[in-house]
Structure 1
Amino acid sequence: MPSLLYRLGRFAYRHRRRVLALWLAVIAAVVGCMVAFGGPGKLDDTFTIPGSQSQQALDRMKTDFPASSGTSAQVVFTAPAGQKVTDPADLAAIRTALAAAKSAPQVAKVIDPLAAQTVSADGSTAIAQVQYEVTQSELASGSLDALKGAVAVAAQHQPGMDVQVGGAAYGAGASKSGGSDFIGVGVAVIILALTFGSLLTAGLPLLSAIAGVVTAIAGVLSLSGVTAISSTAQSLALMIGLAVGIDYALFIVSRHRAGLAHGTAPQESAALAVGTAGSAVVFAGLTVVIAMAGLSVVGIPYLTVMGLSAAAAVLIAVLVAITLLPALLGFAGARLTPKPGSRAMRREQAADAPSGTAVAGEPAKPAKPANAGERWFRLVTRRPLLTLLAVLVAVGALAWPAHSLRLALPDNGTSPAGSSQRLAYDQVSKEFGPGFNGPLLVLADTSHSADSTTAADRIATAIRALPDVSAVAHPVVNAQTHTALIQVIPASAPSDQATKTLVSAIRANAPTLQQQTGATIGVTGSTAVGIDVSAKLDAAMIPFAAVVVGLSLLLLLLVFRSLVVPVKAAVGFLLSVAATLGAVVGVFQLGHFSSLIGVDRAGPVSSFLPIILLAVLFGLAMDYEVFLVSRQREAYVHTGQPLSAVHSGGRHSARVVTAAALIMIAVFAAFLTSDSQMLKQIAFALAVGVLLDAFVIRMTFVPAVLALTGHAAWWLPRPLARLLPNLDIEGEQLQQQHQESQPTQLTLVKASAP
């Protein structure tokens, strides 16, 4: 692969205008498809889980109870202080608002609170139900805003009356980055400028990453017209595509600049950078792609789309790095060469000089580490066992809260403070109980019952006797389809464990109810769908983690031809995941320091987060493992000195890996400004995960383990060594061929000189 990438990089450099024109044409075509067939206006944030009981019942409701199968909104009226919603003036204002709501777009039915008996005990609050015949994803972008405008007339007719709109129609809310990508890009520019000491050099990784992100996001959005693409999938693809796009380009540009600093011709240097660092980029990128695409095996469309969107963004980032980037390097030419005597030039020379040797133009100095990276690696390997114990204690302390991890889908209770849906949720919880925000729907098939009405009444009575049931509405019977619909109000909030227990209890009683009434039942509604999604994700977690860890062991065994390195990498990966989950639980579920990132209410962790964290962090952890350990392996092969090889890895790779990790952290952390609780949790988890994995695991735990195991770290049984292919991920043979050809090239240059 290094030789193939070398030729590809040289071709792109030499034919840079054609390559650039081709990429511009691809971007234009993808953007055109987005405008013609998709776009942000067609995003779908609906959770579905095909095959589950809740989804099957929901699908049947579309034909048997179409008015109840769509999404719904709650209009919460709160009377002025000292008044009641049943007072003549207040009631008149409410009914005026409800009349206006009936004419709002896509509204199928409006239920008067007096008819539904949804008036609080003290008479201060009333809830009107607005029913749509379409699902949340099918709501037009302005439908809910039109409903808000329609019901606002109540406050005009009765000054002091508070009117808020919430309910299931809002779901978890669309994931909006709020300009986070620009914040992340700004921080990345600063880090790149500090890393290279050149704005021109810093701009190339940024430019190539933006090209990849534009292509990926436009491609994803172009499919929104034919398949369900969620706003979270778009944001995740943007977040990961931008982060890895900058990082992959950073690794290649760093290797190219090092070649220029040592006198290699620009074209040859760019080709070698793509052949060496580009090989590691391809390997690292494919691990991310495999892990993200693997999310599709869980069987939840929402998660599948998220995984495939992120995988596409990473794949495009890899293609951009090995084709468009060398073309951009060709346009820059020799201008990327560090100036003689500059800090960048001294740093490149020092990195390749053995510790303690003099750098060109400077007097010899006593032996000491060449740079901060090597100094850190020397520090953590001075007493490696003590370092390992310190890491384990620190990571264990961070991971401890993870034992109380509670998963659920986000609801309006975690919406931004001050939003209409959050105010409505809080008022409903206060006056009617938290369960009123997430009612359960029980669909009964009474086709084998003697009498549908009697059977439905007996089912409702049995459910009413279960624990944690606040209220059960009178069954609605459809005599033509022999079905009945029963609304159940839990006493607990939609995301509480008690509500999950109630759903399980209703389903557990289904066989008994069938014997007594002849009817079969299914529990559905947005709350039940969310519970089923969480249950399926819980069941998939351990198998998926086993596949990810097993894949990491296999890939690293092939790359490094060692037994210790893959096991150490897998253990480090699990440590970073555990510590990250502990940090997420501490901030979002327990509320520690949550106000610092704009979280005003603690709640359960998003059901999707752990499995997304496993997939994404696995790929990113392999990035840093490959770029750090490959340099150490290369040094060990040349010198045979294990401790010196560890220090050499720090000298050559620590600075670039540090910059790459800081860029990723900045990009992920910038998305903490999002209003979406799910996206905020994902951004926090990825930022903390990269921080821990890069600096605590890869740059502290890993060198300590390698120093402690010595020569054994690079041992591989001979029978296994003969079976495994030599992937040469760092392009050692390519570099050796280049070094052997250098004297010949120099001779030819001298001979042709005038």
Structure 2
Amino acid sequence: MLTRIARAAVGRPRLVITVALLLMVLCGALGATVHSHMKSGGFVTDDLDSVRASQYLSEHFPGSEPNYVLLVTADDGPDSPAARAAADNALEILDAHPEVSGMQSYWTARPDLKQALRSTDGKQALILASIEGDDAELPVRADELSDRLQIESGPVTIRAGGLAATFGDINSQISKDLIIAEAIAIPITGLLLALVFGSLMAAALPVAIGLFAIAASLGILRVLTALTDVSIFALNMTTALGLALAIDYSLFIVSRYREELAAGATPAAAVTRSIRTAGRTVVYSALVVALSLSALLVFPQYFFKSFAYAGIAVVAAATAAAVIVLPALLILVGDRINAGDLRAPLRRLFGDRAAPAAEKAPQQTFWYRLVVAVMKRPLPIALATTAVLLLLGSPFLGVQFGYPDDRSLPADVASREVGDVLRTEFDADMAASATIVLPDFRGAPAELDTYARELSTVPDVPAVLSSAAVYRNGLRVAAGVPEMSDPNTGAYLSVGTRLDPYSDAGRQQLDALRAVEAPTEALVTGPAALNQDSVTAITGKLPLAGALIAITTLILLFLFTGSVVLPVKALALNVLSLAATFGAMVWIFQNGHLSGLLGFTATGTLNLAMPILMFSLAFGASMDYEVFLLSRIREEWLAGPKTTEGNTEAVAMGVARTGRIFTAAALLMSVVFLGVATSGVSMMKLFGLGCALAVISDATVIRGLLAPALMRMMGKWNWWSPKPLVALHNKIGLEEAEEHPAPTKEPQLAKTSTS
């Protein structure tokens, strides 16, 4: 099939490129407004107790859960005429919107509730409201209100915060970050490609395929938003994935094409053989990445599902561009692939000193010498490398997971500023308070008051508001709180907190609140409850997702290598590499090391979604390099003696022939991910930096040290399979190499499959 595709592209290259350009323009135009159709949430599902509680409140007590907070700051205090006038105007604007309900403010609250809505320094006060809408509507409506309500300067300022405003600010930040990330990644990758190839023409082709992948990614995302819910966080991640894979795959194929030309092939023959060999590896690698991403479909949250759908589609687009569009470009370029030699100006300036060095034989390369040195002392190097990776991964044993909030944003964003003030300048963080819902409560108010009194004795609860009173430390301090219960619709209580809902203390407080005996079924909602429920729901699916990734990886690598040993080795090494990366992410982002240098605020937690996404993407990328490396090692193994010495030489030659290429590919992919790491949203920063570290460590430490050491110790047993599986592989196995004679004296080793 790949041969037919290559010949079709070689036969009609201009038609292929014209169609690709039209698709690129169409996808770019279609995806230009994709960010406005994406959603900010997706971390929870409707069956969680905390979500059920929120839905109940929305249906029966509209406005009881404020998600929009206005912080009014006045030099003369909130009781000044200027502050009151600004607050009255804000309340009037809010009241005019039908989607806004449940407005409360310092200026309209009863005297006994005013204290909770005024800062401890007496200069700031709050207006609370609830904006109705789903994850897509909420940030849009919040942004529209904020544009009208916020006052940036003057004697009175107003800034918008709360969950709704935070979602809006995250959407805006991610959209801006995408432009910055691409502006950084594309020119740097182009420069690195030019250095790798020594030719502007050879460097331009992967960049062109990468630009096609970006446009395709945006178009695919836009189509998906019309079919299902898609997370706004998928915007940067999938475009980065498409760009990284397109450049990687193009690099593999262009390198093979230049190699074939150097061996004397015509451009047409070189293109055909490059697609039949390197192109086959690209397709196989893409299949591994796509199957890794498909494991995200086991999670019910649309946050994960949108990454699975979008990621698989983007991988397919990048692969199609590499094996269909790139051959057409190569045949038009032909022998001019080395045009634009960057070393020519240097030669003119420095003379013979800048002359290009003669092409080295594989045995003379750095990678060959490194791998030979490693395989002379395989056991000490394997033990030392494993110990270092385990040490780097050890911080992950203390990981704590938390729901993303305004602290994900830069410190100068309005919703983040409001959140910081609420956490430090008010007796209770109104945005972090818990709400306890009693859907089936039909009892007397006295029962509800008894429950509220007991809740108020939980440590670090400043107050509990029930249907009849406000309670602090088990004492009734005010009466007459309206609209907290209805004999026909149940009841709810508002529970203030002084704690970070995602901290250990916040989790312990939530457990203590749930432990208080309620008069009927009690559902708790709020940041702490949402976080705990979502973490429980996600972790419950982790074993299934991990099993799917492991099984599919083992099967695919067996089909590619014919061995049952190499797939297990590859799986173990990838997990070890990713564990080290996860440990580094905990040390940096959870514990706060390097926070000043990287520009984020450590909250003592990690968003659980990020390690899962990192595992799926980085695991797929690691297997990408594994397939590329093993394909060349297998070529050497099949062409050489089936002995321990033959295995050692095959490993050394395989790494020598591919080391420069997959290291360059890893560097290019890491540049793309580091572009994502420039994001102002800390969870995107974590994702970008984590994926970059995972890719780099895998391509250097794993492929250069640990993998060769283990393959040396296992010798010819690397290629072992039971006889039934050998026969199976001979029928359905896959490989990059051309057909080789099958081994005859080692029946336990996998024979060559027919190409």
> Quick check: 1:214 aligned with 2:215?
yes
Distance 1:274 1:636, change over 3 A: same
Which of 366, 370, 375 is the matching residue for 1:372?
Answer: 366
User: Counterpart of 1:11?
Assistant: 8
Give the drift of 1:140.
6.1
Q: CA deviation at 1:538?
A: 2.3
What residue in structure 2 maps to residue 65 of structure 1?
61
Q: 1:359: which partner in 2?
A: none
Find the residue that maps to 1:46 and give its secondary structure. coil
Q: Deviations over 1:461-520 (max 9, x none)?
A: 3432334433222344453742223222233112213333333444455xx42xxx3x32
In the TM superposition, residue 546 of structure 1 has moved relative to its aligned partner by 3.1
Superposition map of 1:470-509 within 5 A:
470-475=462-467, 476-477=483-484, 479=486, 481-509=488-516
In structure 1, distance between residues paired with 2:740 and 2:356: 21
Contact 2:557 2:567 survives alignment (8 Å):
yes
**Structure-1 separation of matches of 2:495 and 2:159:** 23
- Tell me, in whole angstroms, the C-alpha distance in 2 between the residues paired with 1:481 and 1:276: 71
Distance 1:129 1:309 in 2: 37
Aligned-residue offset at 1:593: 1.8
**Contact 1:460–1:486, Cα closer than 8 Å, also in 2:** yes
Deviation, structure 1 residue 526? 4.6
The question of 1:21 aligning with 2:15 is answered no
Shift of 1:251: 0.7
User: Is the deviation greater in 316-325 or in 113-122?
Assistant: 113-122
Change in CA separation of 1:468 and 1:561 when aligned onto 2, cut-off 3 Å: farther
Note closer, same or farther for the CA distance 1:670–1:32 as it changes in structure 2 (3 Å cut): closer
Which stretches in structure 1 are left out of the alignment for 5+ residues? Answer: 356-368, 738-754
Aligned length: 701
Letter in 2 for 1:372: F
Shift of 1:348: 11
2:201 corresponds in structure 1 to 200
Aligned to 1:191: 192
Q: Is the 8 A contact 2:9 2:328 kept in 1?
A: yes
Partner of 1:224, secondary structure, is helix
Residues 442-481 of structure 1 mapped to structure 2, 5 A cutoff: 442-446=436-440, 449-451=442-444, 453-475=445-467, 476-477=483-484, 479=486, 481=488
Which residue number corresponds to residue 740 of structure 1?
A: none
2:164 matched to which residue of 1? 169
Q: What is the Cα deviation at residue 692 of structure 1?
A: 1.3
Q: Deviation at 1:312?
A: 1.3
**For residue 396 of structure 2, what is the amino acid of its counterpart?**
A
- Secondary structure of the 2:494 match is strand
**1:56 paired to 2:52:** yes
The residue number in structure 2 matching 1:749 is: none
Asked if the contact 1:275/1:734 (under 8 Å) is kept, the reply is no
Deviations 1:413-472 (A, max 9, x none): 33211221222112111122574331222221136x244x44543443343233443322
Note if contact 1:101-1:147 (Cα within 8 Å) is conserved in structure 2: no
State the shift of 1:193 in Å.
Answer: 0.8
| CA positional deviation for 1:324 | 1.1
The 2-side partners of 1:429 and 1:409 are apart by 16
User: 1:616 Cα deviation (Å)?
Assistant: 0.9
Seen in structure 2, the aligned counterparts of structure 1 residues 318 and 593 have a Cα distance that, compared at 3 Å, is same
Task: Give the distance between the partners of 1:481 and 1:266, measured in 2 at CA.
Answer: 80
Secondary structure of the residue aligned to 2:502 is coil
> SS of the counterpart of 1:733?
coil
Pick from 714, 735, 748 the counterpart of residue 730 of structure 1: 735
Aligned pairs (5 A) from 1:237-276:
237-276=238-277
Match of 1:716 among 716, 721, 724: 721
Aligned to 1:407, the other structure's residue is in SS state coil
Query: Superposition pairs for residues 735-754 of structure 1, below 5 Å?
Result: none
- State yes or no: 1:110 paired with 2:110: no
- What are the within-5 Å matches in structure 2 for residues 541-560 of structure 1? 541-560=542-561
Task: Note the alpha carbon deviations across 1:335-382, whole angstroms, 9 max, x for none.
Answer: 226899x99xx999846x5x6xxxxxxxxxxxxx32222222223223
Q: Distance in 2 between matches of 1:162 and 1:480?
A: 42
Q: 1:394 to 1:456 in 2, by over 3 A?
A: same
Counterpart secondary structure, 2:233 = helix
Instruction: Tell me the CA shift for residue 601 of structure 1.
Output: 3.7
Q: What is the DSSP-based 3-state SS (H/G/I as helix, E as strand, rest coil) of the residue aligned with 2:251?
A: helix
Distance apart, 1:527 and its partner CA:
4.3
Distance 1:379 1:667 in 2: 32
Give the C-alpha shift of residue 544 in structure 1.
2.1
Contact 1:285 1:315 (C-alpha < 8 Å) held by counterparts: yes
> What is the CA distance between 1:246 and its match in structure 2?
0.6
What whole-Å deviation, never above 9, does each CA across 1:294-336 have from its counterpart, x for those lacking one?
A: 2021111111112221221111111111111111112212222
- Cα distance in 1 between the residues matched to 2:565 and 2:306: 36
Aligned-pair CA distance for 1:208? 1.3
Tell me the CA shift for residue 242 of structure 1: 0.7
2:72 aligned to which of 61, 77, 98: 77
Aligned to 2:473: none
Q: What CA deviation, in whole Å up to 9, does each residue of 1:562-620 have, x standing for no partner?
A: 23312221111111111011110111111212222222445311110121122112211
Query: Structure 1 residues 105, 685: CA separation in 2 closer, same or farther (over 3 Å shift)?
Result: farther
Change (3 A) 1:291 1:76: same
Contact 2:206 2:250 in 1 (8 A): yes
The equivalent residue for 2:409 is 415
Which residue matches 1:677?
Answer: 682
Query: What is the CA–CA distance in structure 2 between the aligned matches of 1:731 and 1:674, rounded to whole Å?
Result: 38
Calculate the aligned-residue CA RMSD, in Å.
3.0
Counterpart selection for 1:686 from 658, 671, 691: 691
**Structure 1 counterpart SS, 2:129:** strand
- Please give the TM-score of this superposition, normalised by the length of structure 1: 0.86
Residue in structure 2 matched with residue 752 of structure 1 by the alignment: none
SS of structure 2 residue aligned to 1:127: strand
Instruction: Write out aligned runs for 1:60-459 (5 A).
Output: 60-68=56-64, 72-80=67-75, 84-86=77-79, 90-103=83-96, 106-114=99-107, 115=109, 116-117=113-114, 118-139=117-138, 141=140, 143-144=142-143, 146-147=145-146, 149-152=148-151, 156=154, 159=155, 161-171=156-166, 173-174=170-171, 175-176=174-175, 177=177, 178-336=179-337, 350=359, 353=361, 369-432=363-426, 435-446=429-440, 449-451=442-444, 453-459=445-451
Tell me the distance in 2 between the aligned counterparts of 1:407 and 1:21. 48
Letter in 2 for 1:494: P
Aligned partner of 1:167: which letter?
Answer: G
Residue 748 of structure 2: aligned partner: none
Are residues 258 and 735 of structure 1, via their aligned partners in 2, closer, same or farther at CA, if it must alter by over 3 Å?
farther
Matched to 1:679, the amino acid is M
Instruction: Kindly indicate whether the alpha-carbon contact (under 8 Å) linking 1:168 and 1:526 is maintained by their aligned counterparts in 2.
Output: no
The one-letter amino acid paired with 1:674 is: S
State which drifts further: 216-225 or 571-580. 216-225
Deviation at 1:137, TM superposition (A): 2.6
> Residues 139 and 164 of structure 2 are in contact (CA less than 8 Å); yes or no, is this contact kept in structure 1?
no
2:623 and 2:205 mapped to 1: Cα distance? Answer: 24
Find the aligned partners of 2:376 and 2:138 in 1 and give their Cα distance: 62
Cα pair 1:437 1:494 within 8 Å, conserved? no
**Is the alpha carbon distance of 1:333 and 1:736 closer, same or farther for their aligned partners in structure 2, counting shifts above 3 Å?**
farther
Aligned to 1:606: 607
Range 304-313 or range 426-435, more displaced: 426-435
How far apart in 1 are the matches of 2:552 and 2:656? 29
1: CA distance between counterparts of 2:291 and 2:24? 24
Q: How far apart, CA to CA, are the structure 2 residues paired with 1:610 and 1:166?
A: 28
Deviation, structure 1 residue 679: 1.0
Describe the shift of the 1:31–1:190 C-alpha distance in structure 2 as closer, same or farther (beyond 3 A).
Answer: closer
Which range moves more in the overlay, 50-59 or 131-140?
Answer: 131-140
d(CA) in 2 for partners of 1:121, 1:654: 62
Show the 5 A alignment for 1:607-646.
607-640=608-641, 641-646=646-651
Distance 2:301 2:552 in 1: 22
Aligned partners of 1:84 and 1:90 also within 8 Å: yes
Greater shift, 217-226 or 722-731, is seen at 722-731
